[in-house]
Structure 1
Amino acid sequence: MNSNPMYMEYVDDADPQPAPRRGWRILGWVCIGMSVLMVVGSLTAYGLYRQAFGNISHQDVNAQLGPDRPKKLNKALNILLLGSDTRTGANAKYGRRMKSDPPRSDTMILLHLSPGGGQAMGISFPRDLMIRMPSCKGESGQVYPAEERAQINSAFTKGGAACVIKTIESISNIRVDHFMQVDFNGFKSITNAIGGVPVCLPKAVNDPQSKLRLSAGKHNIKGETALAYVRVRHGLGDGSDLDRIKRQQKFMGALANKALSAGVVSNPKKLLALMNAATKSLTTDNELTPQVMMDIAQEMQGVSSGKLRFVTVPSGPDPLDPNRVALSANAQSFFAAVRNDKTVPEKPKAGTQQIPPNQVRVRVFNGSGIDGQASRVADDLESQGFQVTVGGNAPSLTTTTRVLYGSGADQHSKTLAALIPSRPQPTARSGGTPGIVDLVIGRDWTNLKSAGGGIPKQQGEIRANDDICKET
């Protein structure tokens, strides 16, 4: 085992130990941070948020960050969600031998809120990601020199939230607007407050390390069982870090889906219990005031669970260490899409009518002769907000892509045609389905332009409204 605490071999995840160790990935950290933003808008209607906001601690990180930061390019918001594995106070029961160890952050998710609140994306950064660590200033003012090669979660151990922000900004060039940091003490409380979170196990699990014992199939879990579910590694999946991230993203999605459900948002008692559970272990930057949270929540009120996406930053095996991961070649193009996200369409010119994608119903037919093309294009359309179904193969192959519309969908068809590089002229379809736009993909199809600069669908992404038993 490597004795350097900054490198963190995490053998505790692989070998039995008499006490729980820091290899956990308590998704409750992130669930807590996300729940605050999701439910606060609903709480305002009942005037109950003031008590909950009083639970939140604040931290000034501006002096640590300094002026040399990425420029803000749009009105999107990027909130860094951090989990601290501190074993102080009530958290000591989850690793008493570690209560004197410096806290670390095993959960790092950048919550990206598109301009206008139309979409949200949680971007996971694996704890084992090897990166170039920038120089940063610790909480006491000490300066840590830059490192050519370091594990990303060591940034928190060095300088807390500010060093993680500095690191994320350095590798992505994305401006981080706020941070929310929580420990896992509130995890059980939040799963209890929401009435449990639905999960689906592909096989039975009986893991002595996490004490998770569940049969295959669907379960509604909370409290200690939920805690065991998000920390188990060897009892489910292939035991890899990335496999566990996928499972935990599904857990976050299921929690978000339930938090946004009518059974929670319309129940003041449940909302207040959830809010209190979420804020009791929460620390934010000084600028993330109650009023700012209220403003964010108001913008997010239009975000349904289907518009909440979870992805892992593009990465693959580290060529220098197979037990670590490194950013892949397409990571920078992904970061660029996040930086330049302008999902909210520009206002139409005077005298014109523009139908937003979320009001356009599209049926996709494959006339290209390329297997699976209709499904791929449908996924791209859906990621930009269109209501999409796949119609299957077209009656015959076609060289050019066509846009056809049924009665009442002429303006809707223009929204779709504007995003196709070949700019096909929409045509009325004889016998077409009223209100439906048909897209017939031809051999000339290249890609779909972005509706104002939104983030294209990512491989392996998860949506909060996905079937919990869906394989990812």
Structure 2
Amino acid sequence: MQRAVAPSPVYYADAPSPPEPPARGRLWRVLGWVSIGLSVLLVAGSLTAYGLWRRLDGQIDRENVDDKLGANRPAKLNNSMNILLMGSDSRAGENARYGTEAGQRSDTTILLHISPGGEHAIGVSFPRDSMVSIPSCKRANGTSTPAQFGMINAAFSTAGPACTWKTIEALTKIHIDHYVEVDFAGFKRVVDALGGVEICVPRRIDDPKAELHLRAGRQIVHGDQALGYVRTRYVLGDGSDLDRIKRQQTFMASVVKKATDRGMLTDPGRTFSFLSAATKSIKADDRFTLSVMQKLAGGLQGMSAGKVRFVTVPVEPYPQDRNRVQFNQAQAEPLFAAIREDNAPPEGAPAPVPAQQNGTGVQPVPPAQVRLAVYNASGADGLGQRTADQLADRGFQVVRVATRKGRPFARTQILYGRGAERQAARTAIAVPGHTPRPWSGARPGYVYLVIGKEGAALRTLPAAVPKVAGEIRADQDVCGRA
């Protein structure tokens, strides 16, 4: 982001001159995740070659789960995307080296919520030791399991990912759109294709049984070391599943940062190798199609690591067994409700936006696609920079901030160049009360906010998904995370 106070610009028709072209930013920014298959699918939205898309898409193992979810599902209340991410502990095939335990369980269960417009994302971890009610589920052979009360990961072992999907929907009343599953071998392939992931270890670790050998401090881990780091329960932390989840979340945060790294995404060879490894490593529902992935990826352009956070469902000890936990409903329900009712992007605008709201009658783009110059023509010192900072915090690309000397303007204006109607519409939502208008002297694709004496009050944001104790944000330093 480029912010610089320039000399007084020359004005034309009470409007600022176009700013200098901004420094070239990241070509793509994409959300990443520890199931990592998902981060790959999102990165894939940056590829323009349809043939490559088709080739990658054909490598994904898909399953039809429609008839296993039942009819009594939560209603979809918004335009967000909710994806259930599961790490399987299957010992079949390539995973046989990790033991002979029969069956498979969801070693990791996370609900990834992406807000409408791709503005924010939150990953909600469900502890595997949580005691919950599991509904009756249909198995692959057509038989049904009885409803039961048990550990949440038992849903996966009794009737596969569709049963975990059905259980999470019943517990949270959140409508889930898709699922993505990855096993141990797939996890390692994707970490290696990513070039390793940065972690931070408080002390030296030597655990031959877990094949885990780490020096103290900041380091990059690959393959087996990465898998051992996210799975171990006893050589790191206090041995609890909750402590392991915290470690997994710090790893996920590092994946987000790596997946949005400019060097990664501007190297076509690295990107394709990464995508190819990931698509070979995941399983998903058959509705998670190529078009859905492309739409999801397009909506996430511009999301930065700072807009991604990870939380754990609030829990409390289970009275009948202190080695188990149960949801703390008083704290968990507000979190679930906020996700269910996340109806709007940060500016609180419906889509499409009526003409009387933005002055153009066109559908606005996400803030990250708006190249915005802010000019202070109000006579109030510092107002331009303060407004620019607020807009940048909401995701706008502020490419220039400047102050007009001389007689202040009476009114605030939103002006735009050729091809920037939708960008101006988004600006008018963020700064309401000012009808955008085209300006022939504007640089094509740019929007200009000229702040007059009446100011530029930003729209009040809707209540966000509440903060949860111990949450991790993806832009935090790996050695500074709790």
TM-score, with normalisation over the residues of structure 2? 0.71
How far does the alpha carbon of each residue in 1:296-322 deviate from its partner, in whole angstroms, 9 at most, with x for none? 111111211111111111212212211
1:220 aligns with 2:220: yes
In percent, how many aligned pairs have the same letter?
46
Read off the aligned partner of 1:213 and give its amino acid letter. H
Structure 1 residues 204-243: aligned runs within 5 Å? 204-243=204-243
| Deviation, structure 1 residue 409 | 10
Name the structure 2 match of 1:77.
81
1:350 aligns with 2:360: no
1:254 aligns with 2:254: yes
Structure 1 residues 109-188: aligned runs within 5 Å? 109-147=110-148, 149-188=149-188
Name the structure 1 match of 2:42.
38
Residues of 1 paired with 2:365 and 2:302: CA distance? 17
Contact 1:29 1:183 in 2 (8 A): no
Read off the aligned partner of 1:66 and give its amino acid letter. G
- Choose between structure 1 and 2 for higher RCO, CA contacts under 8 A separated by at least 6 residues: 2
CA shift in 2, pair 1:408/1:206, >3 Å: farther
How far does the alpha carbon of each residue in 1:391-425 deviate from its partner, in whole angstroms, 9 at most, with x for none? xxxxxxxxxxxxxxxx999999x96999xxxxxxx
Read off the aligned partner of 2:275 and give its amino acid letter. M
**1:326 aligned counterpart, secondary structure:** strand
How far does the alpha carbon of each residue in 1:351-386 deviate from its partner, in whole angstroms, 9 at most, with x for none? 7699999899xxxxxxxxxxxxxxxxxxxx99x948
Residues of 1 paired with 2:95 and 2:356: CA distance? 59
**1:31 aligned counterpart, secondary structure:** coil
Contact 1:76 1:114 in 2 (8 A): yes
Residues of 2 paired with 1:154 and 1:267: CA distance? 42
Read off the aligned partner of 1:68 and give its amino acid letter. N
Name the structure 2 match of 1:314.
314
| Deviation, structure 1 residue 350 | 2.6
CA shift in 2, pair 1:30/1:221, >3 Å: closer
**2:164 aligned counterpart, secondary structure:** helix
How many residues end up aligned between the 2 structures? Answer: 380
Contact 1:250 1:468 in 2 (8 A): yes
Residues of 2 paired with 1:348 and 1:451: CA distance? 19
Name the structure 2 match of 1:63.
67
Read off the aligned partner of 2:90 and give its amino acid letter. T
Identify which range, 300-309 or 69-78, moves more after superposition.
Answer: 300-309
Read off the aligned partner of 2:356 and give its amino acid letter. A
Aligned partner of 1:461 among 448, 451, 471 = 471
Name the structure 2 match of 1:393.
none
| Deviation, structure 1 residue 340 | 0.3
| Deviation, structure 1 residue 348 | 7.8
Read off the aligned partner of 1:72 and give its amino acid letter. K
| Deviation, structure 1 residue 235 | 1.8
Identify which range, 314-323 or 350-359, moves more after superposition.
Answer: 350-359
**1:467 aligned counterpart, secondary structure:** coil
| Deviation, structure 1 residue 66 | 1.8
Structure 1 residues 19-30: aligned runs within 5 Å? 30=34
Aligned partner of 2:462 among 426, 432, 452 = 452
Name the structure 2 match of 1:367.
none
Structure 1 residues 411-450: aligned runs within 5 Å? none
| Deviation, structure 1 residue 31 | 2.8
How far does the alpha carbon of each residue in 1:192-248 deviate from its partner, in whole angstroms, 9 at most, with x for none? 111111111122222232122222111011122212212222222222111111111
Identify which range, 202-211 or 177-186, moves more after superposition.
Answer: 202-211
**1:330 aligned counterpart, secondary structure:** helix
**1:48 aligned counterpart, secondary structure:** helix
**1:52 aligned counterpart, secondary structure:** helix
Name the structure 2 match of 1:102.
103
**2:219 aligned counterpart, secondary structure:** strand
Contact 1:186 1:278 in 2 (8 A): yes
Contact 1:118 1:343 in 2 (8 A): no
Structure 1 residues 6-17: aligned runs within 5 Å? none
**1:156 aligned counterpart, secondary structure:** helix
The runs of at least 4 aligned residues of structure 1 exceeding 4 Å deviation read: 351-360, 384-387, 407-412, 414-418, 435-438
CA shift in 2, pair 1:330/1:206, >3 Å: same
**2:35 aligned counterpart, secondary structure:** helix
5+ residue gaps, structure 1, are 1-27, 361-380, 388-406, 419-427, 429-434, 439-448
| Deviation, structure 1 residue 436 | 11
Name the structure 2 match of 1:203.
203
Aligned partner of 2:91 among 66, 69, 87 = 87
Residues of 2 paired with 1:459 and 1:417: CA distance? 34
CA shift in 2, pair 1:29/1:87, >3 Å: farther
| Deviation, structure 1 residue 453 | 4.8
1:470 aligns with 2:480: yes
Larger radius of gyration: 2
Residues of 2 paired with 1:454 and 1:184: CA distance? 34
| Deviation, structure 1 residue 65 | 1.2
Residues of 2 paired with 1:71 and 1:318: CA distance? 30
Residues of 2 paired with 1:436 and 1:201: CA distance? 47
**1:269 aligned counterpart, secondary structure:** helix
Contact 2:197 2:255 in 1 (8 A): yes
